[in-house]
């Protein structure tokens, strides 16, 4: 237990500036994204879910890779690998901390700016289509799923750069499966905002897949299903990478 | 048994080049090892394998019985590895020491104070703002202060000035006197002359020799020899160079008298007469 | 401090003599700890193995003694021992050589004593 406390102290002392700049970044996203979307698309009320999703993804990605940063900083990784603390303990600590901080910070920044915009600017730029608790739970679930994927990538204690590929693949998968949803969204947009290109309307009319008429819900459910399915594949892929891990310095 | 053992260790980089095939070595406690070899033969790789930073592709590397690459807490607490080039977090040495020393049960605050003074270390400025030489001195002070059983130092004197090198020598001498081992990998052969009691010379094929200085002095003779002496022998010297004072070199020692070892000349001999040296010291490779 | 070594004697012998000098001068006090092999090696820039040979000889001759677990110490009576050995070497080797030289230069023993006393008085 002592080693974990010592490690916690070391980690937060060394990463203090990183954490502060990450929080500043997340806060800026939470604050500016609704405004940006509002300016770009005119009157908007259905982007609450998207903003929250962005925050959720951003927070878990950045905070988890920050947590494991020392393991892949060239020149510092040797010290990190030879530090007398078992890999398991380190991974558990970094994993739990990064997940908890991701969930808390995403929620904190989202709700702060949501109410902040309403209070101070008076505009309801984030219209949540669902019960807030439902949103909180779903976002947290997505974050857990992404986080577990990242964790598996780092779990072997090596410097696995193959997680870029896995994440990239997952992101591509996610977007591919969401094309129908996005297409519908785009076609809806077109009706609301005639200044958009005609091309997009065509795309929307050719797709015939029907999804639930709950934008936030639909998108999230797809992510959940896809992520959970991908997790199994990714788990085996990255574990295999971890075992095969060899350091190529030159 | 306080040893670091390489047993038929092989290592191959991901991008292809095979550095070691079946390297076998044993490092014991209380010695100062000099690890010599030309650039690219694998000195740093050897150190990293010993420290558990790299995982061998064949064979094993153990630290006091524990597999190095498993990076177990108890094994890692017994060693400190200082790479040739390194980067450090944006903390002062004192802060870095405060958060990192709890991991080393053998750490001594007294030794830390002493080493910082001897090496003239800057303790309160952020480490990433210091020059390479200053950073090296800072980390060396910390390394000695950990009191680890095994100090693995890769080119420790690179970037140090004369005073710092002297302080380094004093600290290594004191460290080894207390029963711990220091492994120094270097190009500056002359600088470790007054420190090492055991030499390991590597080449592209593996180990050329792995012997104590005493053994080397028994098997080889270093020094001046005349032309007459030269003509009497049946064999060529392992290394010879003509100076104003005459011919000096390395030859096989046929007398009973132990010769004083000149490490620099020995290294030159290892380059010129590699296989003879290998055979002489019965070093087995693949 | 780097010692400058001459070519006529083996280095370990020179270190041995240097240690003797230090005992006589009081640098190494009887009954007190002397620097370790490694410390001396690092200080004078010589391989520890060479210093080891000197130290082994010093121990054999009873000038240094090792105390288990503590280190190496200068033996009590070491100073006298060294002086005695060096005196003997002086009378057996250097004096006859001096005598030969004196004969060559036609210097009488009495002249030598007078000169010595003059030098001592300075």
The verdict on a CB contact (< 8 Å) between A9 and B99 is yes
Alpha helices in A68-125 (DSSP H): 77-81, 87-116
Question: Minimal Cα distance from B193: which residue of C?
Answer: C47
Average pLDDT for chain A: 68
Alpha helices in chain C (DSSP H): 11-25, 37-44, 48-60, 78-89, 95-105, 109-121
On the 0-12 / 13-18 / 19+ scale of CB atoms within 10 A, B158 is middle
The verdict on a CB contact (< 8 Å) between A3 and B103 is yes
The answer to whether C61 contacts chain B (CB < 8 Å) is no
Over residues A116-137, mean pLDDT: 71
Question: Minimal Cα distance from B163: which residue of C?
Answer: C1
pLDDT at B176: 93
Task: Among B15, B54, B76, select the one facing A83 at the smallest CB separation.
Answer: B76
Over residues B71-78, mean pLDDT: 92
pLDDT at A44: 52
- What distance in Å separates the CA atoms of residue B109 and residue B130, rounded to the nearest whole number? 23
Average pLDDT for chain B: 89
Chain B residues lying within 8 Å of C44, measured CB to CB: 194
H or E stretch at B106: none
- Per-residue confidence band for A129, with pLDDT thresholds at 50, 70 and 90: low
Looking at per-residue confidence, does B96 or B236 come out higher?
B96
pLDDT at A199: 40
By mean pLDDT, which of B23-32, C33-42, C64-73 is the weakest?
C64-73
Q: Could you say which DSSP state residue B86 is in?
A: -
Tokens of B229: 């002496």
Chain C residues lying within 8 Å of B194, measured CB to CB: 41-42, 44-48
CA angle C56, C62, C63 (to 5 degrees): 80
Task: Among C38, C43, C50, select the one facing B260 at the smallest CB separation.
Answer: C50
Q: How far away is chain C from the Cα of B56, in angstroms, using its nearest Cα? A: 33
Average pLDDT for chain C: 89
Over residues B240-255, mean pLDDT: 81
Question: Minimal Cα distance from B218: which residue of C?
Answer: C49
The answer to whether B132 contacts chain A (CB < 8 Å) is no
pLDDT at B250: 86
Chains near A with 3+ CB pairs less than 8 A apart are B
By mean pLDDT, which of A83-92, A240-249, C18-27 is the weakest?
A240-249
Report whether A63 contacts A105 (CB < 8 A): yes
What percentage of chain C reaches a pLDDT higher than 90? 52
Buried-exposed string C22-52: b where 16+ CB fall within 10 A, e elsewhere: bbeeeebeeeeebbbbbbbbbbbbbbbbbbb
Report whether B206 contacts B22 (CB < 8 A): yes
- What distance in Å separates the CA atoms of residue A103 and residue B99, rounded to the nearest whole number? 27
pLDDT at A45: 55
Residues with Cβ within 8 Å of residue C47, at least 6 apart in sequence: B193, B194, B196, B197, B213, B260, B261, B263, C41
Q: Does the structure show a pLDDT above 90 at A48?
A: no
CA angle C45, C47, C52 (to 5 degrees): 120
The verdict on a CB contact (< 8 Å) between C53 and B213 is no
pLDDT per position as a tens digit, B262-273: 899 999 999 998
Using CA atoms, how far residue A161 sits from A65, A242, C42, in Å, is 11, 10, 45
pLDDT per position as a tens digit, C30-43: 888 999 999 999 98
Q: How many CA atoms lie within 13 A of C2 on its CB side?
A: 11
- Per-residue confidence band for B50, with pLDDT thresholds at 50, 70 and 90: very high
The verdict on a CB contact (< 8 Å) between B95 and A10 is no
Report whether B278 contacts B208 (CB < 8 A): yes
The verdict on a CB contact (< 8 Å) between C49 and B197 is yes
Q: Does the structure show a pLDDT above 50 at A214?
A: no
Q: How far away is chain B from the Cα of A86, in angstroms, using its nearest Cα? A: 5
The verdict on a CB contact (< 8 Å) between C48 and B197 is yes
The answer to whether C54 contacts chain B (CB < 8 Å) is no
Q: How far apart are the first and last CA of chain A?
A: 38
The answer to whether B94 contacts chain A (CB < 8 Å) is no
Interface test with B, best of A81, A82, A159 (most B CBs within 10 A): A82
Alpha helices in B119-210 (DSSP H): 132-146, 162-177, 189-192
Chain B residues lying within 8 Å of C42, measured CB to CB: 169-170, 172-173, 194-195
Chain A residues lying within 8 Å of B79, measured CB to CB: 82
Task: Among A13, A84, A249, select the one facing B103 at the smallest CB separation.
Answer: A84
pLDDT at B231: 67
Over residues A69-74, mean pLDDT: 76
Q: Could you say which DSSP state residue C86 is in?
A: H
Report whether B272 contacts B238 (CB < 8 A): yes
The verdict on a CB contact (< 8 Å) between A75 and B53 is no
Using CA atoms, how far residue A18 sits from A67, A100, B253, C13, in Å, is 9, 17, 62, 61
Task: Among A6, A247, A250, select the one facing B54 at the smallest CB separation.
Answer: A247
Report whether B51 contacts A247 (CB < 8 A): no
Looking at per-residue confidence, does C6 or A82 come out higher?
A82
**The complex's ipTM?**
0.86
Report whether C33 contacts B198 (CB < 8 A): no
Q: Does the structure show a pLDDT above 60 at B240?
A: yes
pLDDT at B13: 80
Q: Which residue has the tokens 């053994």?
A: B215
Chain B residues lying within 8 Å of A247, measured CB to CB: 13-14, 48, 53-55
Report whether B286 contacts B21 (CB < 8 A): yes
Chain C residues lying within 8 Å of B172, measured CB to CB: 38, 42
The verdict on a CB contact (< 8 Å) between A78 and B51 is yes
Backbone Cα Rg of chain B:
20
The verdict on a CB contact (< 8 Å) between A246 and B89 is no
Phi first, then psi: give them for residue A122, nearest 5 degrees. Answer: 75, 5
**β-bridge mates for residue B242, sequence order:** B247
The verdict on a CB contact (< 8 Å) between B104 and A84 is yes
pLDDT at A246: 36
- Chains C and A, touching by 3 or more CB pairs within 8 angstroms: no
Looking at per-residue confidence, does A219 or B241 come out higher?
B241
In chain B, the DSSP E strands lie at 3-12, 18-28, 32-37, 58-63, 66-67, 79-82, 150-154, 181-185, 198-203, 206-212, 220-225, 239-243, 246-252
Q: How many CA atoms lie within 13 A of A206 on its CB side?
A: 6
Tokens of A54: 């962005």
Over residues A162-176, mean pLDDT: 60
Looking at per-residue confidence, does A137 or A104 come out higher?
A104
């Amino acid at each position: 237990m002592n080693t974990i406390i010592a490690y916690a102290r070391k980690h937060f002392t060394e990463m203090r500036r990183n954490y502060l700049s990450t929080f500043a970044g997340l806060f800026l996203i939470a604050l500016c994204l609704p405004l940006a979307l509002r300016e770009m698309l005119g009157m908007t009320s259905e982007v609450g879910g998207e903003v929250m999703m962005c925050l959720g993804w951003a927070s878990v990605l950045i905070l988890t890779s920050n947590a494991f940063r020392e393991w892949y900083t060239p020149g510092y990784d040797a010290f990190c690998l030879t530090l007398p603390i078992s890999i398991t303990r380190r991974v558990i600590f970094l994993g739990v901390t990064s997940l908890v901080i991701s969930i808390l910070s995403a929620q904190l920044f989202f709700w702060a700016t949501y109410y902040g915009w309403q209070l101070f600017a008076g505009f309801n730029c984030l219209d949540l289509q669902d019960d807030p608790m439902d949103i909180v739970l779903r976002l947290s679930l997505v974050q857990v799923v992404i986080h577990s994927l990242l964790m598996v990538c780092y779990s072997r204690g090596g410097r696995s750069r193959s997680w870029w590929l896995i994440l990239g693949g997952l992101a591509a998968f996610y977007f591919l499966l969401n094309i129908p949803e996005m297409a519908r969204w785009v076609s809806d947009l077109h009706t609301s905002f005639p200044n958009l290109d005609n091309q997009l309307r065509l795309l929307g009319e050719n797709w015939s897949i029907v999804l639930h008429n709950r934008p936030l819900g639909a998108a999230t459910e797809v992510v959940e299903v896809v992520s959970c399915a991908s997790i199994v594949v990714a788990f085996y892929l990255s574990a295999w990478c971890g075992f095969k891990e060899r350091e190529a310095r030159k | 048994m306080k040893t670091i053992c390489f047993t038929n260790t092989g290592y191959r980089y991901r991008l292809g080049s095979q550095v070691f095939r079946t390297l076998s070595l044993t490092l014991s406690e209380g010695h100062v090892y000099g690890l010599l070899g030309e650039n690219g033969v694998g000195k740093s790789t050897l150190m990293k394998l010993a420290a558990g930073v790299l995982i061998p592709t064949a064979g094993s590397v153990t630290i006091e019985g524990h597999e190095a690459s498993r990076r177990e807490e108890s094994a890692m607490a017994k060693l400190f590895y200082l790479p040739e080039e390194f980067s450090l977090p944006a903390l002062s040495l004192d802060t870095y020491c405060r958060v990192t020393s709890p991991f080393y049960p053998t750490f001594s605050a007294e030794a830390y104070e002493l080493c910082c003074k001897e090496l003239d270390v800057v303790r309160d400025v952020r480490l990433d703002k210091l020059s390479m030489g200053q950073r090296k001195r800072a980390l060396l002070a910390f390394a000695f202060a950990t009191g680890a059983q095994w100090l693995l130092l890769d080119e420790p004197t690179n970037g140090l000035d004369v005073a710092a090198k002297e302080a380094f020598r004093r600290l290594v001498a004191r460290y080894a006197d207390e029963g711990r081992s220091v492994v120094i990998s270097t190009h500056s052969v002359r600088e470790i002359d007054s420190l090492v009691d055991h030499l390991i010379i590597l080449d592209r094929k593996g180990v050329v020799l792995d012997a104590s200085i005493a053994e080397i002095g028994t098997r080889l003779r270093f020094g001046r020899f005349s032309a007459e002496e030269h003509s009497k022998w049946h064999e060529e010297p392992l290394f010879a160079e003509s100076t104003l004072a005459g011919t000096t070199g390395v030859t096989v020692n046929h007398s009973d008298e132990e010769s004083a070892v000149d490490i620099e000349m020995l290294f030159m001999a290892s380059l010129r007469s590699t296989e003879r040296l290998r055979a002489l010291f019965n070093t087995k490779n693949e | 401090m780097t010692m400058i070594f001459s070519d006529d004697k083996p280095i370990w012998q020179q270190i041995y003599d240097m240690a003797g000098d230090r005992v006589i001068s009081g640098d190494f006090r009887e009954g007190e700890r002397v620097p370790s092999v490694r410390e001396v090696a690092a200080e004078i820039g010589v391989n520890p193995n060479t210093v080891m040979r000197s130290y082994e000889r010093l121990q054999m001759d009873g000038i240094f003694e090792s105390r288990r677990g503590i280190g190496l110490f200068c033996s009590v009576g070491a100073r006298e021992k060294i002086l005695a050995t060096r005196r003997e070497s002086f009378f057996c080797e250097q004096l006859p050589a001096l005598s030969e030289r004196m004969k060559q230069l036609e210097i009488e023993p009495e002249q030598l004593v007078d000169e010595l006393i003059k030098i001592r008085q300075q």
